[in-house]
Amino acid sequence: MLLRSTLIYGPAILLTRISALLLLVVVTRLLNQEEYGLLTLVVTVGEMTDTAVTNWLRTALLRLGGKGEVSRGSLMLAGKVLIATTALALVIAAVASAFVVPARWQEFAVAVCVYLVVGAIARFALTVLQMQQRHSAYSLLESLRAVLQLTLPIVAIMIFPDSFLVVSLGSSAGMLAAGIAASIVASRRVVAGPPRFTGRELFMLGLPLVVMALVGFGLNSAERLFLNAFHDAAAVAVFAAAYVLARQPIDMVGNAINVGAFPEVMGRFDEQGPAVAGELLSQIMALLMQLCLPVAAMLIALREPITGLLLPQSYHGQTGLLFPVIAFAVICANLTSFVYGTVIYAHKRPWLLIVATSLGSVATIGLSMLLIPRLAELGAALALAGGSMIALIACALISRRLTPVPVPWRDIALSLAISAASGVAAGLAILPLRDMAPLISLIAGGAAGGVMFLLMTWLFRPAATRRFLATARRRIAMARG
């Protein structure tokens, strides 16, 4: 099931991540560092506001709305709440803009508010598709969003150059188009009927998520705001570029697993009990480590050719030093959200996440204030990693009291060994090629690391490899048919 889900959602998530990387390559060359820094701050403020005000609704819908048939009554109730929360988010974003970028707050506020409105439409529609278990439709529409959010900003910046607002509006236009398409597709399978939950149930589940988001300020890109405050938007640009490069490949794998696994865990918890759900989460943890650790090792080994190929010279320097720290933070965050956090959601006790998030947030904010003034971008990465690790430890301890998730120590140890071998192979392959073009080094290192990963996986996990290849062949045959 996990491999099937990963293969279904993988192509769309891969395309989304590739789109983000290509946009990074283009935009960092067409915008100066200050403008690109402002663009990343738009996303930061938008995501922080969305997480605090509207994201809880989507999570609550996935938990309370069931899967398969989705009633019109459920969506009408949730839609009314979405309109109200989005309106509140717009007010918060406008006020925040005056504090984050006082010199250009009008432009900044417009970008963030449009980002929030179109994001609310698209994400709500995609959540409904997730509830309906329409995996192929979800994957197709995510792919459409990725293509539009790559092409429209590039077209916009070609017409109106050197403006973060134009790029942001172009990206939002792509999100809106995909959201409208997703809404039309999802609406065709909505069934008549009353809501499966009451407004009180929705808010009771969602209120702790709102509080968690507020206390989790430090874990939701706050280090970028501190970078902007202690340094400038150019420093934010360097950190954000490194963060995208180091995070996207790992997140691509984690999200491909989680998009299908989360509803499945909820279903098994309700139908078969906590013990069965805990075993499934143990398998999810093992799969995350099997796939994410090798990706992280390859990123660390190949960080120099990656930055040399994808980023302008002005972004080089400390960018390579950020990769190992950011990769560690992303893996911690994935384990927190996709494994231990899922236990708490399954028990419908999301307020327990407030404790874990608070500890991680306090750690990130404290480390940011301590390290960013002296270490700039590296300090931001270290602060993020420290807070993510604290949040992971706290969440694991809390979830253990609800439903213990068996830790697959053997699988993790094996994954670490395979990852280390893959990283070493990639690093050794590029040593003789340092004076050559970054693309050549990247191809050689990626090939060497990939071959090592496949060989060691086949050697130590032959059964899993055969299952993966069989599932992949079935998916390819279905696509051809």
| Domain of residue 469, residue span | 203-481
Does 209 share its domain with 244?
A: yes
Per mean pLDDT, which range of 126-130, 237-241, 286-290, 407-411 is the poorest?
A: 126-130
Does 263 share its domain with 287?
A: yes
Averaged over 80-99, what is the pLDDT?
Answer: 90
Task: From 197, 220, 241, give the residue that closes a domain.
Answer: 197
Give residue-wise pLDDT tens across range 194-220: 887 777 877 887 777 777 777 766 666
For residue 334, give every residue at least 6 positions away whose Cβ sits within 8 Å of its Cβ, in sequence order, or none.
250, 251, 254, 288, 292
Does 139 share its domain with 271?
A: no
Does 149 share its domain with 261?
A: no
Query: CA torsion angle for 166, 123, 46, 349 (degrees, to 10)?
Result: -170
Does 75 share its domain with 89?
A: yes
Give me the long-range contacts of 34-37 (CB less than 8 A, separation at least 24). Answer: 34/232, 34/233, 34/234, 34/237, 35/162, 35/163, 35/164, 35/233, 36/164, 36/237, 36/240, 36/241, 37/228, 37/232, 37/233, 37/234, 37/235, 37/236, 37/237, 37/240
Per mean pLDDT, which range of 30-34, 121-125, 324-328, 461-465 is the poorest?
A: 461-465
Residue among 338, 334, 329 at smallest CA distance from 258: 338
Crossing angle (nearest 10°) for helices 233-272 and 105-131: 20
Does 156 share its domain with 274?
A: no
Which pTM was predicted? 0.77
Task: From 168, 197, 226, give the residue that closes a domain.
Answer: 197
The pLDDT of residue 318 is: 67
For residue 453, give every residue at least 6 positions away whose Cβ sits within 8 Å of its Cβ, in sequence order, or none.
294, 418, 419, 421, 422
For residues 20 and 192, give the distance between their C-alpha atoms in angstroms, rounded to a whole number: 38
Task: From 197, 213, 245, give the residue that closes a domain.
Answer: 197
Does 145 share its domain with 231?
A: no
Percent residues over pLDDT 90 in the chain = 37
Greater pLDDT, 199 or 67:
199
Does 372 share its domain with 269?
A: yes
Give residue-wise pLDDT tens across range 329-374: 999 999 998 899 888 888 878 778 888 888 898 899 999 999 999 9
For residue 208, give every residue at least 6 positions away whose Cβ sits within 8 Å of its Cβ, in sequence order, or none.
349, 350, 351, 352, 353, 354
Does 379 share its domain with 462?
A: yes
Number of domains present in the structure of the chain: 2
